[in-house]
Each structure stands twice: as C-alpha cells, then as structure tokens.
Structure 1
Amino acid sequence: MSVFLVKAAQLLLSLSILVVLHELGHFIPAKAFKTRVEKFYLFFDVKFSLFKKKIGETVYGIGWLPLGGYVKIAGMIDESMDTEQMAQPPQPWEFRSKPTWQRLIIMLGGVIMNFILAFFLFIMLLFTWGTNYSNTDDIKYGYGVSKTLENYGFQQGDKIVSVNGEPFEELTVDINKILMFRTVENVRVEHDNGVVEDIALPEDIGTQLFEAGDIPGLSPRYPFKLDSVVDTAPAGKAGLRAGDKIVAVNDKPIAFYSDLTYEIKNLEANSFDVAYERDNELKHTTITLGEDRVMGIVTSPSDLDYITFNQRDYNFSESITGGLSHGYWEVKDYLGQFQYIFTKKGATQIGGFAAIGNMFPAQWNWEAFWYLTAFLSIMLGVLNLLPIPALDGGHVMFLLYEMVSGRKPGDKFMEYAQMIGFFILIALVLFANGNDIFKAIFN
C-alpha cells in the first residue's frame, strides 16, 4: 500500500472516531433531557447520503463529504438552517423549550467528550506502551544550537542537564516544545569542554525563536551523509551527488548536520563555497540558493547511535496520574500555540487536511495512531470552543449571555450569526487547505 493511502486511511479512521464521539457528546445529554434528535451523521450529507437508517425518531447516517459531522437537534438554529421549523410554535421536546442550563450542557457535551477521550487515550498509551526518555549522556554528540540561543550563552554540542531544576531524564517531551510553549527560567547545560553552566532565559524566548525562524532551537547533533541530491535543485546544479561528504561551508568545518543547517540559515549571501569529499578527494563548488534557501539534498545519520532512548513502564495507577498530567500539558501547550498562529508569519503555517495527514507515520503504527488521535481530539475540543457562531463555542457564548442578561437572542439574530459563522469557517478551511496546496507546489 502506498504511503499516501496509509496516511489517508489513518486520518480518515481517526477523524471518524473523533466526529462520532464528539456528536455523541451532544446526543447523550440531549436524549437525557428528552430533546428530540432528528439526525446523527458522520460526515455531511449534502444532497445525498452514503448510508442512512431511521431508528426511533432519529435518522442515523454517513454522508459523502468528510469535513466533520453533526447532530440535528429539533428547535435549534444550527448548520441545517431549518427556519421553517423555527417559525412554528415551540414544542416541549425542542431545544429552544429547554432551560438554559440544559441547553448549555448539550452544547458543551461534544467538547467535554473530546477532552475525556484525549485523557483516556493518554492514560492507556502510558499503561500499554510506557514512554521513552533519554539521559543527559544519551545525546551522544550533544545539541546543535540556533543563533538565538547562542546569544544567551548556549554553545554547539551542549548537553541539557536540567530545565527549571527538573532533571533532563524526567522530561518526557521535546525540549523545543518546552522552550516554545512553556515558561523556562533556567536551563543547566554541560558544555563540550565539561563546564556546567546555568543559563537564564527571558519569558519571551519562544517568541524570539519563532520570529527568527530558529525552530527547532536545539536539535541532537549527528554526523551525516548525502543519500540523494535533486538534480534540478541548487545542490544538484552545483555538482553534488549522493555519497558526497560535505566538510566545510565558506571554510567553516561541517561535522554534523546541525552545523550545515546553522551555516545555511545564517548566510549573509545566497551564494557560498562548499568543500566536500568524493572518493577520498577534496573538491570545492559554489552553490547559489533561492529565496527559500533549500539546497535540495536528502541526508541520513552516518551514526545511528547518536541518540539512545530508554523505556519507562507504568502500572495502571501510575498511568492514570501520568496520563492526566500529560493531557493537561498537551492542552496547555496547544493553547500556547495561539500566540504564534495569530501573527502574519504564523498564519502562513496553518495547515489543512494534508498537513494533518502528514502527521501520521508512513507505516501503520497503533501507538502513533492513538497518540495523534488524542492530540487531534484536544485540537478539535479547543477549536470548537472558539466563540465563533456555527461552532459550539459560539452557541455557548450566546447561552452565557442569556444566563447573565436574562434575555434570549432573537431567532433572526441567531440565523444571521449562524450564517456569518458558517462563512468564517468556510474561509478558514479554504485558507488552511490553500496553504497546503501552496506548500506542495512551491516547496
């Protein structure tokens, strides 16, 4: 099976699970409060359904457009825009006839289900597979350091001893995630010469790394080899071939892949001299990069032991504590991303279905599948809480207004708000997937 089909199948299964459970989160409290649910759909049934069956008062079905799903609750202004029903006198089984607190629980049910699923999956992931961790010395060649972090005292080849006093081996997440999304006051490092130093970092270090394009700020160093070179790319045009070993850029020694990326990132001009070895002979060439500064090479580590991972297992009680903690930090880290998304640079990095699909591995891996499903469940839950009409958060916003003011927004206002929210969502979907298409064409 091709890589595309494997990734697509994982994405489709994951989204199907998330959509069904999210809608079930609305369905269960609606039925508990004796509210009629007219439809329960996986995917959208624009014009026709792939499958549908009426059981009791509810039509269950599968649509053909895999952009989400929905439950159609009687007496509610939603994406169905059933204004005809709303023109009739309210009935006791309708959403609009229920007390405000019941309507609020119904609208929050989908998001609550998303978070329950995510935390449950993190608990089961720890219980089933445990976690991998590395000690300070397990990063064999230390870290390659970005220019931004060099400015604060980091040096090439540093090893991380602790972060905010927490030993490195206790960090179960990527150090870059911590730098980008959390408050880091102090990092203790061991320099290449054996000297241990405490480095203080400012509160906005994540923003500095993001604006400078220094992501990741730290990356494990490894010696590398050229596996392939794109003939039509700058490296190929300059004569580099698979098997060549790059040893210097502008007379600066290159021993690790991070050395190469550092020099390319910090070039003063797009043209530079490359010294490389081929058949034990030292050669030189000049490479001229485009504005994207992409060389057109594929590399791989020539030492596969450059990083070592250790296994940590959890009993069931430990997995509950660890899973809840992990879920908390995943939510907090995801919320931390919004400070970068709502910038000009961050907007260009928003991705659609292709970007999400590429997160899944090229070969089916259940551990990775369930981890990504948990992460996507958090993402779906957080995004659905945004106060945009047509999202759960928009409905919640109007319900909270009603609870505080004692006044219910009019049906016409809700119809117009729903339409505006729908167009906002369509614009965001088109923008995100447009970014995917642009990157596929020009990158």
Structure 2
Amino acid sequence: MTLSEILIKAAQLILSLSILVVLHEMGHFVAAKVFKCRVEKFYLFFDPWFSLFKKKVGETEYGIGWLPLGGYVKISGMIDESMDKEQMQQPAEPWEFRSKPAWQRLIIMIGGVTVNLLLAFFLFAMVLFVWGEKQLPMESLRGGVLVNDSLGYELGFRDGDKILDINGQPVKYFEDLMPQMVYAKQVKIERDGSVLQLDIPHDFIGQLVDNRGRSKTPFLFSYNFPVLVGKIPDSSLARGSGLRKGDHIVAVAGTPTPYYDDVRSVSKAHKGEKVPVKVMRDGSEVTLQMQLSPEGAFGFVNANNPDDLERLGFLKFETTRYGFLQSFAAGTNMAIDRLTDYVRQFKLIFQPSTGAYKGLGGFGTIASIFPSEWDWQAFWTMTAFLSVILAFMNILPIPALDGGHVMFLLYEMVTGRKPSDKFLEYAQIAGMVILFGLLLFANGMDVWRGIRGWFGG
C-alpha cells in the first residue's frame, strides 16, 4: 500500500470518527440543556494536560484535545471521565446533573446513542436516495467465483465454483456471500456439473483472521471475470508484444480462456514460455506471441472495473432506486439489519472455539475498511455503519460508558435507591480500566497483525 493510500484511509477515518463523536456528544449536550443542566466542557478528542484549541462561550468551554480516542461533554454534578471529586463533595446545585430526577438523567445519558441511531438511519437513507442499491446476483456469475488465497483452497473451494447455498440458505447476491460465510457450517457448490457439499470448520473465523496478514486481499472470494487488459507497465514483458489496453484475452496457447481462472491456469502451465495469445479487439480476433514470466505472468494489470464489465455485458448488476420518502424506510431497515448482524458477530467473540476474538482490532482495522481512493458513497456508507457500532458499543452495561450510567439509573428507578457517589466513583474507575485495557488489546492486535504481515508470517 502506498503512502498516499494510507493517508487517504487515515483522513477518511479521522473525518468519519470526528463527525460521529461530535454528534454523539451533541446528543448529551442538547438533552442536558433541555433539562437546564450546566455543561462545562464540550470536547472533540480528549485533552489531558493540554488542548489543541479551546474557546469559552457562555458557561461552556468548547475545544479539541490532542488524544484522538473519542470525545466528551462535562456536565456539572456528574461522575464521568473527568473524575472531578471536589465538585461532588459540595452540596448539589439546581443546575447539576445529580439534582435532576432519574428520568431526566436517563434521557441525558441515552442522548448520544439516540443521535447515533438516528444518524445511521438518515445516512443510510441518503446513500440509498442518491446512489441507490447496487447488487450483483449470484446467478449472473457465469464463471463462478475466484478463490483469493490458500485458506479457500484448504476449505475445498476451487476457482470457477458456483456457490448455491450456505447452511441451506441460498446466497442471492455476491455482496451477501462473506456475511453468510461468517456463520457457515455447510456450503453447497456446483463444480463441473456436479453438486458438492463442503463442511466448514468451527474455527473458520479464526483461520480467516490468521490468514489476513498473509493474503494479498482481505476477501476470501471475488467474482470470476473475463480478462481485459488494463495498464501495461513500461518494464513489462508485455511491452512490444502488440498487446493493447482494452484487449480481451480469449485463448492462451490454443486453449480457450473465457474467464480469469482459465487464463491463470493455462499461463501457470506454460511458465517462462513464449505462447500464442488470442485477443478480441474492436470486434476482430488478433493473435499475438507473448513471453510469460518464470511465474507464469503476462505483466499487465487486469481492467476488471465492475462498471466496464457491466458495460461490455460480462456482468449484470441489479440497481434499486428509492424515492425520497421511500429511502427513509429502506435506510431504517438497512441500519437495523447492520445492527442485528453486528450483534450476532459480537456474540461470537465470547465463543473462544470460533476464534472470532482474533478479529478484534483498533483504529488500523477500522481504517482498512475504507477504500484507498476517496469515494463519497463508500465514506457515508461506512460512517453510517460506524454510527451503528458506536451506538451499540456505548449502550453496553460497562461503567464509564453510557450503558453503565443507564444501568445504574435503571437500578435507581426500580429500587428507589440511588447508588452512592463513592460507589459510582469506583465503578467509573473500574470501567475506565476495562476500556483502556480493551483499547490497548485491540490496537495491539493491529500491531501484531502488521508485524506478522511484514515478516510474511
């Protein structure tokens, strides 16, 4: 990955998280103001010891911290990450959080999560309204799938396989393939006219994560495609052969090669040889003599852009368009589906035998999900998904998270007894230790995977 690609991914991550954090904290801020609580600070990122920017407007100091691990609002009379013990030792004032009824404090605490959910609904809706929903039906993949790494072959998959169903459920769209594979136990495939069933090991997710650092692509499968010639580097063996950008390779060494897996198979059988290559160019067949590298490569980049393949009739996408009002219902359903699927995957982390815990990652993992070229559709889709994740993670009943405060407030509302300030103080400390421990572990996993990938292990 080039430096520019890394910077583009990092920029998308920072912008996305900044939007989500500011709006999340705005949810707490607005709710606190509605119930006449004093908000002392509103910060993007944390500011231990110093801040990058700050300005006081009225009773609130607005600022940007230097530690990009989230953000916060400091509400008077509340035990939070600021750990302001001195204020809590003073008599409660009418404008303080602790002096408000439990139901008002509950609304203030769920304000951030509520905004994140509403934001996800809105962003998914706007993505669908502006760009529609583009999906590739599995039945349109006449050449089946490509297996991108050794793990797929170890599981029994082969290039050209047509995946029929997973756990008895048909795979309708290519975009659904990997999400369904996460829970796969049996996969039914069609190969050379025969139907086979592959058994997927229980620790498949763990194997997939382990293989991620060694694989050239994060995806187990891609769709098979006819080989169209893209960029031909100046140092390539293909230079001087007469090959041109846009040529469609239809045969190598006398063997028909309708799809990429055919080209790859035949070229590997003729490593280092000079072979005849038949291409389609402007509706006519042209035969060229081309030298293969010792690895069996031609030396050009495949032009497998989905839009080009669709324009030439090799792929047929389904695009669903939504009106403005329709998009809100569809966007809400999409957000709920993403949340449901994320919760299912989250549960797998607590089943060690699946190996799903190995997939925990920090900012590096999140950044890797963004494309290496700036794409607004992908950016807003990812921001919507991260908003769903942020809402779910924040509502977990862990002290120091919104969910921890909600848990104690619900206890107070049910029993009529408020936990003591000392108990809440210790709970906050314990929660912060847990969160920082998880943060270090998740980002440490990113570093470890990076080291393994760097040394090829």
Q: TM-score, normalised by structure 2?
A: 0.73
* Structure 2 partner of 1:232: none
Deviation at 1:176, TM superposition (A): 2.0
Q: CA deviation at 1:51?
A: 1.6
Q: Does structure 2 retain, via aligned residues, the 8 Å contact 1:144–1:258?
A: no
Query: For 2:30 and 2:293, how far apart are their aligned partners in 1?
Result: 69
Maintained 8 Å contact 2:272/2:293 = no
Q: Which residue identity does 1:332 align to in structure 2? A: T
Q: Does structure 2 conserve the Cα–Cα contact (< 8 Å) formed by 1:179 and 1:206? A: no
- Per the alignment, residue 221 of structure 1 pairs with 224
CA distance in 1, matches of 2:273, 2:153: 33
Aligned twin of 1:210: 205
Contact 1:148 1:209 in 2 (8 A): no
Q: Which of 347, 358, 368 lines up with 1:348 in the alignment?
A: 358
Q: For residues 317-371 of structure 1, give each alpha carbon's deviation from its aligned partner in whole angstroms, at most 9, with x where no partner exists.
A: 3212221111110001111111332344323321111111121111111111101
Please name the residue that 1:277 is paired with: 271
In structure 1, distance between residues paired with 2:97 and 2:68: 26
Q: What are structure 1's unaligned runs of at least 5 residues?
A: 228-240, 244-254, 262-273, 287-297
Which residue of the partner structure matches residue 246 of structure 2? none
Structure 1 distance, partners of 2:42, 2:392, is 22
CA shift at 1:77, angstroms? 0.4
Contact 1:275/1:283, CA 8 A, preserved across alignment: no
CA distance in 2, matches of 1:258, 1:380: 44
* Inter-partner Cα distance in structure 2 for 1:160 and 1:358: 30
In structure 1, C-alpha distance between the alignment counterparts of 2:8 and 2:337, rounded to whole Å: 29
The 5 Å alignment of 1:96-175 reads 96-144=98-146, 146=152, 157-158=161-162, 160=164, 168=172, 171=173, 173-175=175-177
Indicate how the Cα distance of structure 1 residues 189 and 438 shifts in structure 2: closer, same or farther if over 3 A, else same. closer
Q: SS of the counterpart of 2:369? A: coil
Structure 2 residue runs of 5 or longer lacking an equivalent are 212-217, 231-235, 239-258, 276-290
After superposition, the C-alpha distances for 1:233-288 in whole angstroms (9 at most, x for unaligned) are xxxxxxxx998xxxxxxxxxxx8669999xxxxxxxxxxxx8552233799999xx
Cα distance, 1:186–1:325 mapped onto 2, change above 3 Å: farther
Task: Say whether 1:315 aligns with 2:323.
Answer: yes
Tell me the residue number matched to 1:79: 81
Q: Aligned ranges for residues 412-423 of structure 1 at < 5 Å?
A: 412-423=422-433
Equivalent pair of 1:43/1:65 in contact (CA under 8 Å): yes
Percent identity of paired positions between Structure 1 and Structure 2 = 48
Instruction: Kindly report the root-mean-square deviation, in angstroms, between the aligned alpha carbons of the 2 structures.
Output: 4.1
Matches within 5 A, 1:5-404: 5-144=7-146, 146=152, 157-158=161-162, 160=164, 168=172, 171=173, 173-180=175-182, 192-193=192-193, 207=202, 209-210=204-205, 213=208, 219-222=222-225, 277-280=271-274, 301=302, 305=309, 307-344=315-352, 345-404=355-414
Q: Which residue of 2 aligns with 1:269?
A: none
Aligned to 2:282: none
Tell me, in whole angstroms, the C-alpha distance in 2 between the residues paired with 1:397 and 1:259: 59
Q: What does the per-residue CA deviation read over 1:173-202, in whole Å, with 9 as the maximum and x for residues that have no partner?
A: 422213436xx8998876652x7x7x9999
Q: Is the 8 A contact 2:21 2:70 kept in 1?
A: yes
Distance 1:35 1:86 in 2: 15
Local SS of the residue matching 1:88: coil
Amino acid at match of 2:125: I
Is contact 2:38–2:75 with CA below 8 Å preserved after alignment? yes
Compared CA separation, residues 105 and 8, structure 1 to 2 (3 A)? same
- The one-letter code matched in structure 1 to 2:401 is L
Residues 1:167 and 1:144: Cα distance change in structure 2 (over 3 Å)? closer
Normalising to structure 1: TM-score of the pair? 0.75
Match of residue 214 from structure 2: none
